[in-house]
Structure 1
Amino acid sequence: MERKKRTIFWIIPIAILGIFFYFFGPKDTITDNEYIDYMKASALTSDSQLTTEAAFSKVCEKGGWEYFETKMFERVVEYKGKCTVEGKLEPVNVQFIVEKDKSSHLIGAMLVNSVQQTDEQRDAFIQTMHK
């Protein structure tokens, strides 16, 4: 009887870890989603006639779109690609926070070569896409 108790004490923690990993572990990348479609078709900024997809295709190459939700249940669409920044081709990530009803979006964080940019640098990059 003593041996069975020890076995159960090993099985229960392993099962708990397995369940935790299943629910909170890494998720598959979502690359086809209604929020991604919304971002591609929406205007980059409120004063722009250019869609987000067209704007990125002007200055970027080898780009892709991903969707994920944060722990605060924000819906984030992220563009990843190689874009021309200050005359050089750099890896760029730009995040857009999309409202649940897809009525509007905010431009979130921007990384260039894995370094987060300031809001001013991000806005300057977005303005170069209008030219």
Structure 2
Amino acid sequence: MHNKFVNVTKIFTFDSAHKLENYDGNCKYLHGHTYKLEITVRGKTDYRGMVIDFNELKKIVNEKIISKLDHKYLNDVFDFNTTCENMVVWIFNELNGVLNSKNYLLKKVRLWETPTSYAELEREDFYNEGQ
């Protein structure tokens, strides 16, 4: 059963505050979100039938992303406008190097800002800029 390509996803949540710059609406004021972050890794299953151990994935994402964003004022963390779109690109970029091995690659990052709104970036789109 091993040696098949499989997508593996782990979901995280974090709470942060921010305000949008150059925006004419309520989000220009300080407000907060409980973000939901989905990280998808694609690879071949190994002799155990795993692409990546969920605990390993959790450790990496907590270290590289959650610890930097949870209970933070995002405008102090980033030097860009803290839109969901900008953040999903930053998250992909931060994880791309560490979730890139001979066995698996970072496939997709999806960041939910509200229960009905998210931005996502897939590997193909990350490398096909300008389209």
Shared topology, TM-score over 0.5?
no
Q: Max radius of gyration: which structure?
A: 1
Q: Which has the higher contact order (CA 8 A, sep 6+)?
A: 2
Tell me the TM-score normalized by structure 2. 0.27
